[in-house]
Amino acid sequence: MNHKIRLLLIDDNREIIDMLRLGLETYFIIESAENGEIALEKIYAFKPDIAIVDIKMPHMNGFQFIKAIRGDPATADLPLIILTAMPVESSQFEGFASGADYFLTKPVMPSELLEVIPKIIAINQSERHQKYQNFAQKAMEEYPNGNL
């Protein structure tokens, strides 16, 4: 990496933020927010290269945050990783459908994020779009009635 990647951590659990910050601050410039609403305020000033977002948060949850990011041309291409303790089956589909690039479940080790983050940033927009189309097609085939 030529420059330090700017990472926005969004989680209402301060312990998670602190643990990730401690494990990642050597490699990234880190800013944090305790919910999606605050993250939206910070995103334009901080200009992250990637964001890691929890799903269950007060005021604006992770799905709402992702949809807001994807709906704004200024931020639509921001790589987004969901990091959640929610069950994979239900939350993974909704996460990818809302526009997430990657999905991880808590607990996660900083070393896993160190491996994943550069790969997610390297995915270009057309690859990201193709991935969403493939995921949507697979979901329609596996769950024709829309029920997980």
Angle at 46 between CA 119 and CA 70, to 5 degrees: 60
- Three-class DSSP category at 70: helix
Inter-residue contact 56 to 24 (CB < 8 Å): no
Could you check whether the bond before residue 107 is cis, i.e. omega within 30 degrees of 0? Answer: yes
Which pLDDT tens digit goes with each residue over 4-16? 899 999 999 999 9
- Three-class DSSP category at 80: strand
Model-wide pTM > 0.85: no
- Among 37-41, 75-79, 82-86, 136-140, the minimum mean pLDDT is found in 136-140
Inter-residue contact 45 to 58 (CB < 8 Å): no
H/E element, 51: strand 50-53
Which pLDDT tens digit goes with each residue over 52-108? 999 888 888 888 998 899 888 888 889 999 988 866 566 656 666 667 888 888 888
Task: Categorise residue 147: left if φ over 0, alpha if ψ from -120 to 50, beta otherwise.
Answer: beta
For the chain, which residues make up each domain, given as ranges? Answer: 5-142
Model confidence at 1, pLDDT cuts 50, 70, 90, reads: very low
The CATH code that applies to domain 5-142 is 3.40.50.2300
pLDDT higher than threshold 60 for residue 132: no
Q: Return the pLDDT at 6.
A: 96
Angle at 24 between CA 18 and CA 28, to 5 degrees: 120
- Three-class DSSP category at 97: helix
- Average pLDDT for the chain: 83
Mean pLDDT of 116-144: 71
Label the pairing between strands 80-84 and 102-105.
parallel
Alpha helical stretches, state H, the chain: 14-24, 36-46, 62-70, 88-98, 110-122, 125-142
Alpha carbon 22 to chain centroid distance?
19
